[in-house]
Structures are given as structure tokens and as C-alpha cells.
Chains A and B, each alone.
Chain A
Amino acid sequence: MIEGLSRNAARNIFFGGSIFFFVLFVALTLHSHYYIVTESTDHDGLTEQVRMGKHVWEKESCINCHSLLGEGAYFAPELGNVWLRYGGDEDPEAARQGLKSWIRLQPLGVPGRRQMPSYKHLTEEELDALVEFLRWTSTIDTQGWPPTISG
């Protein structure tokens, strides 16, 4: 197959084909961008509080232990659906308080159990924002992932 191909022909196929697939890829991501903003996420619901919560999530680098929509460090539980695991769709107030007190309890100091660090330096406002960010995340249309509530 390759014997009948000259180096210049191979080069032209490489450049032409790559540009074709790159353009196609960018076009599809632009459409996906539009789809995310208009359909699969609560884009209008990105309040100041959700933004602040995402900032807290990043400042503490939660992703380097937990995973969020399956991406992260796999060292600690998935949090994309943690709001639902805490029953937030039924009783939002209980879920909010439950999540906040769980974070405040850390570190648990249970021998032989993976240890979440202390987050006692987070203010009430930051904790509320973080939980609100996790609630917002649980509303993303993820094509039915994860398969179980365990995440």
C-alpha cells in the first residue's frame, strides 16, 4: 500500500486531511457550545453564588482527590451527583445542611480511612456557594451518566 505512495503525496494527504478534520472538529464543538448554553445546562442559573462556588471548588483543588462528572483523581467519591445522593431533589434544605456539616466535620480522623483535609477555614458564605455549585452541577444533562446513584 505504502510502496505506491510518494513522500509528497503522503505530505499532501497529511496536511489536507488534518485541516479537514480540524475544521470539522471545531464546527462540532461550536455547535456543542451552543447546545450547552441553550439546552443541556442551566446557563441562566449561573448566579454569582454558583460562580463563587466554582471558584471555591478550584481554590481548594477538590478535583485532585474527587471526580466531577467522572473526571478527576478517582481517590475520593464522584461529586457530580452528590446533591442527588444527599436527596437534594426531594429536600433541598436537608441536603444543603447535610453537605455543609459533612465538610465541616473533616478531618474525621478515622484510623485506616482515607482522610479529607480540614476545611474549617471556609466561611459560611463559601460553604453555601460550594454546595450551590454542586447543586447546579447536578442539573447538567449528562446523557444519563452515572449509571447508579453511587456515582
Chain B
Amino acid sequence: MKYETQKVAYPFFIAALLLFAGQVSFGLLAGAVYVWPDFFADFMPFHIMRMSHTNLLLVWLLIGFFGATYYLLPEEAETEIHSPMIAYIQLGIFVFAGAAALISYQFGIHEGREFLEQPLWIKILLTISFLMFLYNGTRTLMAGRKTAISIVLLLGLWLAAIFWLFAFYNPANLSLDKMYWWYVVHIWVEGVWGLIMASLLAYLLIKLTGVDREIIEKWLYVIVGLVLFSGLLGTGHHYYWIGTPGYWQPIGSFFSALEVVPLFAMVAFAFYMFWRGNRNHPNKSAILWTLGCTVMAFFGAGVWGFMHTLSWVNYYSHGTQVTAAHGHLAFYGAYVMLNLAIITFAMPQLRGKRPYNQIRNMWSFWLMTGGMAFMTFTLTFAGVIQTHLQRVMDIRYMVAQDDLTLFYAMRFGSGVIVVIGALLFLWATLGKPREQVPTGATHIATDAA
């Protein structure tokens, strides 16, 4: 670690990981309700479990992005963070707001739009914290070297904050409400978060492979271009059936089908750079997460997204377990794995160690990734059958659900594996470090890299 203030990232990563553990725990509870419908019914209703699950996900991913930014920005800009104090206060506000939302949900205090359930004052706190982060990051960037990685990363984060403002706009007309709601939800995860993802990947690839920045940054611009060229009009795949005009069907189908292209480009990018690079980096588990992230994002967001994105397919599959299958693997592959890759890479330096607990970390990779893949398969089967029963044979929802019990049971089982994997990851990264570096690896872990 070259710069003292990179340490700012440490509490961000710890907070992110603890909230991650909470997120998967609520997921497991909700998964249990599918199998044992009476489970917890009086104690905690399903809708509270679900909003806790999704909100914790968003909060910890964002905290992870903030931490990643603070970690890499000094190296990229070749200067210290503008104000570590602002960073710590900003983290405190964000964690407080996230925890306050979580607690208030347990008492039935929430707003009612999906993913935007946070009470108004909590939304305002999140916004303030986000703006403090952007101020801090932008001041740091302005003071130093401006690389493509840091420019694209901060652009992505700025745009995320700007589109978040649509969370405050809730028109009475449901169709308008839904149309602008997607300005937050879709433009985040299939638009500007793509900028964050690609730039963090580019940073990891420079560090892990040693390939020239010039080449990596060219790829970065090509990929983020493809993300936005396809992703912006790709929003159209949410505008098929909500009262928006019919032209969104061809537009949404065409552009969202193209969303596969940047995701594939990221796979090619990562593997090509490792093939080309000559650095034998000792942090093998960070390499595994980096490559795994691009592959699982391609399958989860790309392939599983494409599966139901064409309007004439979506007409039947819209709002079934097919969507749930895609949602789980896309978030896991693209954003969860990305954060875990950065954390796996940065933690040894933040703790002043050579890479440690690598075997345990890699076990957690395979458990979580295997579990998520299996969960996605079971939900896909459930969704296909549900689509046929409900949308073709016109069988009522509750009746059709009875035929899906087997898949929900298997989904719960895979959820248990994911939780075990997640806890193992926490143990590997936060627990007592035992240095594990393969023989012959380059000795660069404790210095600049």
C-alpha cells in the first residue's frame, strides 16, 4: 500500500461484509417461507423479510463501492484522499441510515415502492452521505493524476447519485410511477453501475496481470461504451406492459439483446489480459474472484437476461420465477462477486499481510458460486413450469404454485450452501490471517501492488 489514506477503505469493507451476512440471512428466511409457508408468519411476514434482503444488498454493495473507490483512488490519482474524516463520517451516516431502515422495517415502518422502501428521512440521509462521498472522491481526483479508471469510476458513481434522485419522485399515475422508477432501478444496475464494474475490473486487471495501462484503459472505454449504448435503450424491456407505447417492444428487444455484448466483452477482457500479462501475482484467490465475476455476470446478467428479454417471450414469462432466477445470478455475478474480488485483493494490504487464508477463501468462492448457480437452475425450472401453467393453461396462481414445491425445496438447500460460503468468506477475510502464498509467486504483495 503506497498511500496512508488507502486505509480508509478498511472499515468500509468490514461494514459491507457484516451487512452481506445479514442480507443472506434474510434471504434464507424468505427462502424457508416458500417451503414452510407457516414459518415465521406471525413473527415476521414475508414482505418484511424480502425488503430487508434486497435493501441490505443495495446498501452493502454501495458501501463496498465506496470502499473500493477510497482504496484505489490514491494509487490512481497519486495523491492522498482529500479528507479521511469526511470518509469516516460519511460511512457512519450511511451505515446508520441502512441500519435505521432495517430496524424500522421490523416495526412495519416503510414506504411502499419496491427497493425504495426507506422512509423519506432515511433517503435524505443516504443522499447526504453519497454527496459527501462524491465531494471527497472528486476533490481527490481533481488534485491528482486523472486516469481513465478513476474518471469512469467517478462518472459511474456521480450518475448513480443523480439517477437516485428519481427515488424522490412518486407520481400518482401508476404508469408514470413505474416508468420513472426504472430510471433508478434499471439505469443503476444495467447502466451506470456497469461503469463502476468495468472500471473496478480494469483496476484489478492492471494490478493482477501487469498489462500496460494504455491497453487496459482502451478496453475499458470500449466496454463502458457498449454498456451504455445497449443499456440505456435496453430500459425498454421494462416498458413492454406498464402502459407505455408499443414501440418499446422492438426497441427494448433489440437493445436489451445487445446488453449481452459488453458482458461477453468483460469475460474476453479479463481472460485475455491474464493470457497476455506476465505477472505471477501471489493473491490467487483475488484472481479467482476476478475471473469468476466476469463469467458469472455473463451468465447471470447476460444469458439469463437474454432468455426472457425479447418482448414476445417476456409476454409469457414476465413476473414469474424466471425473473427471480435472473435477478439472483445477475446481482451475484456482477456486483457481489466484484465486491468480493476487490475485498479479497485489498484486505491483505489493508491488514499489512501477504495474501492469507487463500484456500478457505477459494472454498467460499466455490460454495457460494455453486450454490447460486444451483439456485438459479431451480428457480428457472420453477419459472418455466409456472409460465406454462399460469400463462398458457390459465391455471390460477396459488394452484400453480403448489406444483413448484420441489424446486423451492431445492432452492432452500442451495441457499444454505450460499450462506455457509458467505460465512466462510467472512472468516477467511476478517479472521486470523495465516499467510498462504504459492511457491514461485512474484513477491509484490506487500509493496505497491
Q: How far is the CB of B246 from chain A (nearest CB, A)?
A: 6
Which of B117, B174, B214, B229 gathers most chain A CB within 10 Å? B174
Query: Are A117 and B45 in contact, CB atoms less than 8 angstroms apart?
Result: yes
Q: Which residues of A contact B398 (CB under 8 A)?
A: 77, 113-114
Q: How far is the CA of A70 from the CA of B392 in the complex (A)?
A: 16
Query: Are A36 and B175 in contact, CB atoms less than 8 angstroms apart?
Result: yes
Query: Are A115 and B225 in contact, CB atoms less than 8 angstroms apart?
Result: no
Known contacts being A41-B174, A112-B38, A140-B243, is A63 close to B390, with CB within 8 Å? Answer: no
Chain A positions 98-151 with a Cβ under 8 Å from a chain B Cβ? 107, 111-115, 117, 136-137, 140-151
Q: How far is the CA of A99 from the CA of B400 in the complex (A)?
A: 21
Interface residue? A97 (CB, 8 A): no
Known contacts being A25-B235, A65-B46, A75-B50, is A7 close to B221, with CB within 8 Å? Answer: yes
For chain B, the count of residues having a C-beta within 8 Å of the partner chain is: 72
Q: Mark B304-323, 1 if CB is under 8 A from A, else 0.
A: 00000000000110111101
Q: How many A-B residue pairs have CB under 8 A?
A: 207
Known contacts being A35-B245, A37-B173, A150-B395, is A63 close to B219, with CB within 8 Å? Answer: no
Query: Are A62 and B38 in contact, CB atoms less than 8 angstroms apart?
Result: no
Q: How far is the CA of A64 from the CA of B442 in the complex (A)?
A: 50
Known contacts being A7-B148, A78-B319, is A107 close to B41, with CB within 8 Å? Answer: yes
Across the two chains, which residue of chain A brings its CB closest to B265? Answer: A2
Report which of A114, A145, A148 forms a contact with B240, defined as CB distance below 8 A. Answer: A145
Across the two chains, which residue of chain B brings its CB closest to A7? Answer: B218
Chain B positions 223-259 with a Cβ under 8 Å from a chain A Cβ? 224-225, 228-229, 232-233, 235-236, 238-249, 251
Query: Are B243 and A142 in contact, CB atoms less than 8 angstroms apart?
Result: yes
Report which of B174, B214, B247, B321 forms a contact with A137, defined as CB distance below 8 A. Answer: B174
Interface residue? B391 (CB, 8 A): yes
Query: Are B174 and A58 in contact, CB atoms less than 8 angstroms apart?
Result: no
Query: Are A36 and B390 in contact, CB atoms less than 8 angstroms apart?
Result: no
Query: Are B117 and A114 in contact, CB atoms less than 8 angstroms apart?
Result: no
Q: How far is the CA of A54 from the CA of B113 in the complex (A)?
A: 10
Query: Are B251 and A21 in contact, CB atoms less than 8 angstroms apart?
Result: no
Q: Which residues of A contact B117 (CB under 8 A)?
A: 61, 64
Query: Are A63 and B112 in contact, CB atoms less than 8 angstroms apart?
Result: yes
Interface residue? B111 (CB, 8 A): yes
Query: Are B229 and A17 in contact, CB atoms less than 8 angstroms apart?
Result: yes
Report which of B176, B219, B315, B320 forms a contact with A37, defined as CB distance below 8 A. Answer: B176
Q: Which 10 residue pairs are nearest across A and B when measured between Cβ atoms?
A: A58-B112, A70-B319, A64-B47, A145-B241, A10-B221, A14-B225, A77-B397, A148-B394, A115-B41, A70-B318
Q: Hey, which bits of chain A sit against chain B, CB under 8 A?
A: 2, 5-7, 10-11, 13-14, 17-18, 21-22, 24-25, 28-29, 31-33, 35-37, 40-41, 43, 46, 50-51, 54, 57-65, 67-78, 107, 111-115, 117, 136-137, 140-151
